[in-house]
Amino acid sequence: MKIVVLGAGAWGTAMAMSAAAHAVGHDVTLWARDAQQAAGMQVARSNQRYLPGLAFPPSLRVQAGDARALADQAELVIIGTPMAALRGMLLLLRDCAAPIAWLCKGFEADTGLMAHEVCAEVAPQLASGAFSGPSFAQEVARGQPSALVAASRHARVRDALVAAFHGPALRVYASEDIVGVEVGGAVKNVLAIATGLCDGLQLGLNARAALITRGLAEMTRLGLALGARPDTFMGLSGLGDLVLTATGDLSRNRRVGLLLAEGKSLQQAVDSLGHVAEGVYSARTVVQRARAAGVEMPIAECVLALLDGRLRATDAVARLMEREPTVERL
């Protein structure tokens, strides 16, 4: 299969490496926006900025230049840009014939739209979907066992993703519930900041378990209000991605919470990462979307207040613990 991955960040690079290492011998091109970066990766045969020390499979090509021209020759296009760049990329690809899937997670900052809603607005004719689930780019690039969800209302998108990536080191499960998969991918980043804060303040394992569990309830409530299936949130893109991002030390969003607990400012925390932490940018849109749907999300509300500087870390804990007693429910 001829596959083009647009975006040479950590996740786009990892997926290009995974596809190029597949036993069936896919023809894979990784596209980088910056020509100098592309040339450097082609010579070094690695992405030293995002995945240092991990060598590219011999067959993987790296190019810059005309992304649309590459996409027109592909049988599958993977968009590896951050959420902020998705709209522009979809506009570029709006009449592309190949199946298209994006890797980004979150809500669009200005509109509060999920990725599939952005696509429906600017490129409704595309056969498109999301490729999501509990996975760190470094581990996928190393070929360590992982599992992802190919979510789309289009069977040919799901089938193309399974054919391109499913193998001994990467299991790919198909789902038609793109709403649930995308809500899970967006909300878990916000909840990971809260869990990092909890661990940074050394509140204990009991507190962490409670936070993750009630966070899952918030995620599910929002998803159901937006039309998702409840079982999706007990799967890879819900509980799976939440547990990984909230507890894994490779999680950038968790790291933001840890740094805030140390007394760092939000800007200091973000600057120290060197990568995008989507939870920082999607917290506001998650809360706005929840408010518009009449969904109560107290943990997400506290994260937003903390990121806005309206709440101190210790006060966020107190606000959550002092809420009125209630029955356990979604």
pLDDT, tens digit, 9 for 90 and up, residues 223-282: 999 999 999 999 999 999 999 999 999 999 999 999 999 999 999 998 888 777 788 888
Determine the pLDDT at residue 27: 98
Spatial contact of 43 and 114, defined as CB atoms under 8 Å apart:
no
9 labelled as ligand-binding?
yes
264 labelled as ligand-binding?
no
231 labelled as ligand-binding?
no
Left if phi > 0, otherwise alpha if psi is -120 to 50, otherwise beta: which for 287?
A: alpha
pLDDT, tens digit, 9 for 90 and up, residues 122-175: 999 999 999 999 999 999 999 999 999 999 999 999 999 999 999 999 999 999
Residue where the block lists tokens 């090509």? 61
Q: Where in the chain is the domain with CATH 1.10.1040.10?
A: 179-321
Selecting among 116, 188, 254, 289, the annotated active-site residue is 188
33 labelled as ligand-binding?
yes
Does 2 participate in catalysis according to the annotation? Answer: no
The rounded mean pLDDT for the chain is: 95
Residue 329 has pLDDT above 80, yes or no: no
3-state secondary structure the chain: CEEEEECCCHHHHHHHHHHHCCCCCCEEEEECCCHHHHHHHHHHCECCCCCCCCECCCCCEEECCCHHHHHHCCCEEEECCCHHHHHHHHHHCCCCCCCEEECCCCECCCCCCEHHHHHHHHCCCCCEEEEECCCCHHHHHHCCCEEEEEECCCHHHHHHHHHHHCCCCEEEEEECCHHHHHHHHHHHHHHHHHHHHHHHCCCCHHHHHHHHHHHHHHHHHHHHHCCCCHHHHHCHHHHHHHHHHHHCCCCHHHHHHHHHHCCCCHHHHHHHHCCCCHHHHHHHHHHHHHHHHCCCCHHHHHHHHHHCCCCCHHHHHHHHHCCCCCCCCC
The CATH number for 2-176, chosen from 3.30.160.40, 3.40.50.720, 3.30.540.10, 3.40.50.920, is 3.40.50.720
Give this prediction's pTM: 0.94
Q: Where in the chain is the domain with CATH 3.40.50.720?
A: 2-176
Class of domain 179-321: mainly alpha
